[in-house]
Amino acid sequence: MSQQQNQLSSMTPVPSDEPTASPQDTGKRGKWRDGEIYQSFRRRPATIGAAILLLFLIATAFLSPLFVPQNPYDAAQLDLLNAEIPPIWQADGQWPFILGTDTQGRDVLSAILYGSRVSIVIGVAAVLLSLIVGITFGLLAGYYGGIIDTLLMRLGDVLLSIPTILVAILVSSLARQALPASLRDVGAAGVLVLAIVLSSWVQYARTVRAQASVEREKEYVLAARVLHVPNRRIMLGHILPNTLTPIFVAATLNFGMAILTEATLSFLGIGMPPGQPSLGTLIRLGNDYLFSGSWWIVVFPVMQLSFLVVTVNMIGDWLRDALNPKLR
Amino acid sequence: MLVFILKRLVNAIFVMLAVAFLAFAIFQVAGDPVEMLANEQMSQADRDALRDRMGLNDPMPVQFLRFVGNAAQGDFGMSYRNNQDVIGLIAERFPATMELVLVATLISLVVGIPLGILTAIGRGRWYAEGLQFLSIIGVSLPSFVVGIMLILVFSVILGWSPSFGRGEVIDFGWWSTGLLTPSGREALVLPAISLSLYQITLIMRLVRAEMLEVLRTDFIKFARARGIPRRRIWFRHALRNCLMPVVTMTAMNVGVLIAFALITETVFQWPGMGMLFIQAVTFLDFPVMAAYLVIISFIFVVLNTAVDISYAIIDPRLRSAR
């Protein structure tokens, strides 16, 4: 790789249209194809494979209503006569149940694709919300310092002294408890998002705070202050863009974590209800049939979940290396 | 030095008080405990008497202080589900979880350190890159998925290991162990592997990163120049300098593993604290939930504080830094 590429890349850490407050980069930002990010992406065939697979998984999950044989959430479309049909390549397999059916006659492929959609939507919602909460708290704490800083960071300390999975379990079970019984199934996804957000915002807040308290002392912020730029604009327009790189990596890796946490909670029986199964719920339901020989009920959801999380984490892992200036 | 230790201790106590407050808050969300305990035949007067005896008529801060006082003495009240002493229930399950966690930690060290060395010294070779790639999968796979697949392969298909329970146990006073009976050891294998997989990959990655850093330093180059054999450099000189962070992470992660054990315990029906907790969550047994939260956090905080303090003793620079 040439010197020029190195130089370029160190100034454009994220290939995005985000305004960057760094003063040197105007006019020097090349096309992103020449950048380090794209180059290092091309050098890692495994990451390319992971990205393609992930896109495929997301696309099939969201387009699934167009081609799957049944809507697994609609009890009227399930037929008990179709229960426990093995996958199509086995002797008793039946069209159109390519991956077989579960004990209620639910098509496993349809359930998996709908389940992935639930998992992905909850994961994205949880990451976005954690980002908003974490960035807001982190900016406030880092920019203003003082009592806000102490309070928020102490709260974070306490949350970090409890294992995250425990926070998620407690929030999820208590929030469900607080909901009236009729809303519990409808609100299940919201409760899960809340549980994941509460157990993961601290990480973003700490990252942003550390960066913000450094940036605060720099001259461009001082200059903005002298010009009477409002505090809110200094925080959002000047400081925030300079904290985005580590946040971007953390968000990708946390997307994988969020899907995992959702699946774990659903597996433990305090997540999505059996009526609207996510991948975790499907695995929990299928786990009971592991010994009865109906392995397909559990193995395919397990594979789908593993592919989803592994591909997300591979991309996150690559991003971390690609954006880490120390490793270049 | 004394000031530093005191600071850390005060911090730990502060965190524990906050955790106790969260645990206390569980009861406020939970609804009226009298209704949970009372049966159909109890009259209103009986209920009022029970309420008074439980101190539920006192102001909130008094109730909280009483909760903290009792918890500090190991008294978390009675389980709603079977009217047993909560701390007794947990103490009974504690050895099962600890045994699982300690064996998993041991496995992760025995497997993780050599793999880390291998991937560091073979950097660029196919096996090292392959292992590094596998480690991403190891970090990504949820532990219940690992457990289910292990059961499917080794219990259902091959029929080698039992898939649930703890086998026979032998009691030593209040501690029960499954390590001394063949069935106990057999039952431990799959859960321990499943719990340790994540930890193995973490240790492997840590050792690899540390080794790569140490191998770049001057004293290693000098050792090479002196003609010391490679093997000796790797294992005598470089490895020793990597072990400190490994020990730290292992100690701190014991707390994480205890928490994560609840998933493994659910998959393998392992009769530990975690399964007790999950059952408590399902049956809304709030005293057990609160007690579990406090105890796990206590272990967590004690380990973290101990690591911090031992670091300050070893490395004086850290004392003034905080």
The confidence band for A126, taking pLDDT boundaries of 50, 70 and 90, is very high
| CB contact set of B219 (below 8 Å; sequence gap of 6+) | B237
Q: Which two tokens stand for residue B92?
A: 């009974």
User: What is the structure's pLDDT at A328?
Assistant: 46
Task: Show residues of chain B in contact with A305, CB under 8 Å.
Answer: 142, 145
Position A212 scores a pLDDT of 83
Q: What is the pLDDT of residue A23?
A: 43
Report the alpha-carbon distance of residue A289 to residue A305 in Å, rounded.
18
CA atoms within 13 A on the CB side of B255: 26
Task: Kindly state the average pLDDT of the residues A124-147.
Answer: 88
What is the spatial distance between Cα A192 and Cα A263, in angstroms, rounded to a whole number? 10
Query: Per-residue pLDDT for A143 more than 50?
Result: yes
Question: Confidence class of residue B61 from pLDDT cuts 50, 70 and 90?
Answer: confident
pLDDT at position B105 is: 93
- Average the pLDDT over A296-318 and give the result: 86
Find chain B residues with C-beta within 8 A of A299's C-beta: 152
Kindly report, residue by residue over B279-295, the tens digit of the pLDDT. 888 887 888 888 888 88
Tell me whether A179 touches chain B (CB under 8 Å): no
Residue A94 pLDDT: 66
Q: Which of residues 244-303 of B touch A (CB under 8 A)?
A: 255-256, 259-260, 262-263, 266-267, 278, 281-282, 284, 289, 293, 296-297, 300-301
Q: Is the pLDDT of residue A30 over 60?
A: no
Query: What one-character-per-residue DSSP string does B165-213 give?
Result: S----EEETTEEESTTSHHHHHHHHHHHHHHHHHHHHHHHHHHHHHHHH
Three-class secondary structure of residue A18 per DSSP: coil
Confidence of residue A31 (pLDDT cuts 50, 70, 90): low
Residue A91: predicted pLDDT: 66
Nearest to B19 among A46, A161, A177 (CB): A161
Q: How far apart are CA A322 and CA A9, in angstroms?
A: 10
Instruction: Give φ, ψ of A19 to 5 degrees.
Output: -65, 130
A102: three-class secondary structure by DSSP: coil
Comparison of pLDDT for A123 and B84, the residue scoring more? A123
Which of B163-177, B198-212, B216-230, B232-246 has the highest average model confidence (pLDDT)?
Answer: B198-212
pLDDT at A22: 44
pLDDT for res A129 = 93
Q: Least CA distance to B142: which residue of chain A? A: A260
Say if A268 is an interface residue toward chain B (CB within 8 Å): yes
Output the CATH code of domain B90-282: 1.10.3720.10
Confidence of residue B4 (pLDDT cuts 50, 70, 90): confident
Return the higher-pLDDT residue of B236 and A301: A301
Tell me the C-alpha distance between A61 and A56, whole Å. 8
Reference B192, options B115, B124, B260; nearest CA is B260
Tell me, what's the pLDDT at A8? 35
Provide the β-strand partners of residue B175: B172
* Least confident span in A280-284, A293-297, B272-276: A293-297
pLDDT at A1: 34
Q: Which of B141, B289, B297 sits opposite A161 (nearest CB)?
A: B297
What does the mean pLDDT of chain A come to? 77
pLDDT in tens, A186-244: 778 888 888 888 888 888 888 888 888 888 888 888 888 888 888 888 888 878 887 78
Sign, CA dihedral B179-B183-B184-B188, equals positive
- The reported pLDDT for the residue numbered A36 is 66
CB A123, CB A58: distance < 8 Å: no
What is the mean pLDDT of the segment spanning B120-139?
82
Its sign, for the CA torsion A111, A117, A120, A123, is: negative
Judged against a pLDDT cut of 90, whether residue B224 lies above it is answered with no
A313 at B interface, C-beta within 8 A = yes
Regarding predicted confidence, which is higher, B179 or A225?
A225
What tens digit of pLDDT does each residue of A37-75 get?
A: 676 666 777 788 888 888 888 888 888 777 777 777 766
The band of A132, judged by pLDDT with boundaries at 50, 70 and 90, is very high
Inter-chain CB proximity A302 and B14 less than 8 Å: no
DSSP B42-108: --HHHHHHHHHHTTTTS-HHHHHHHHHHHHHTT---B-TTT--BHHHHHHHHHHHHHHHHHHHHHHH
Cβ-contact A81, A42 below 8 angstroms: no
Model pLDDT, residue A20: 42
Provide the pLDDT confidence category of residue A275 given band limits of 50, 70 and 90.
Answer: confident
Q: Would you mind telling me the total number of residues written for chain A in this entry?
A: 328
Q: Given an 8 Å threshold on Cβ–Cβ distance, is A313 in contact with B140?
A: yes
Q: What is the pLDDT of residue A12?
A: 36
Give yes or no for residue A18 having a pLDDT over 50. no
| Residue B322, pLDDT score | 44
In sequence order, which residues have a C-beta less than 8 Å from that of residue B193 and are 6 or more positions away? B104, B107, B150
pLDDT of res. A95: 67
Residue B227 pLDDT greater than 90, yes or no: no
Average pLDDT over residues A262-282: 85
The Cβ-side half-sphere exposure at B237, using a 13 Å CA radius, reads 20
**Which two three-digit tokens encode residue A240?**
């925030």
Q: What is the pLDDT of residue B142?
A: 82
Query: How high is the mean pLDDT of chain B?
Result: 82
CA-based nearest residue to A209, from A277, A151, A169: A151
Nearest-CA distance A106 → chain B (Å):
21
**The pLDDT of residue A7 is above 50:** no
Q: What is the pLDDT of residue A161?
A: 76
Cβ of residue A46 closer than 8 Å to a chain B Cβ: yes
Q: Is residue B319 very low, low, confident or very high in pLDDT (cuts 50, 70, 90)?
A: low
- Give chain B's end-to-end CA distance (angstroms, integer): 11
Task: With CB atoms and an 8 Å threshold, state whether A291 touches B156.
Answer: yes
Instruction: Indicate the pairing of strand B175-177 with strand B170-172.
Output: antiparallel
In the structure, what pLDDT confidence band is assigned to residue B103 with cuts at 50, 70 and 90? very high
pLDDT over 50 at A4, yes or no: no
Q: What is the pTM of this model?
A: 0.81
Inter-axis angle of helices A279-287 and B143-150, to 10 degrees? 30
Which ipTM score applies to this complex? Answer: 0.81
Phi and psi torsions of A230, nearest 5°: -60, 150
- How far CA B40 is from CA of B27, B44, B305, in Å, comes to 22, 11, 48
With cut-offs at 50, 70 and 90, classify the pLDDT of residue B32.
Answer: low
Burial of B72 (0-12, 13-18, 19+ CB in 10 A): exposed
Look at residue B110 and tell me whether its pLDDT is greater than 90.
yes
Query: Amino acid identity, residue A90?
Result: Q
pLDDT value of residue A236? 81
Q: Torsion angle, CA of A218/A221/A224/A229, rounded to 10 degrees?
A: -160
Choose among A220, A226, A224, A201: nearest CA to A140.
A201
Residue of A nearest to B254 (CA): A163
Range(s) of chain B covered by CATH 1.10.3720.10:
90-282
Q: B86 falls in which pLDDT band (50, 70, 90)? A: confident
In this model, does residue B78 exceed pLDDT 60?
Answer: yes
B304 lies within 8 A of chain A by CB: yes
> Measured between CB atoms, which of B15, B29, B260 is closest to A157?
B15
Q: Which two tokens stand for residue A139?
A: 């900016």
Mean pLDDT of B191-218: 88
Query: Per-residue pLDDT averaged across B123-127, rounded?
Result: 81
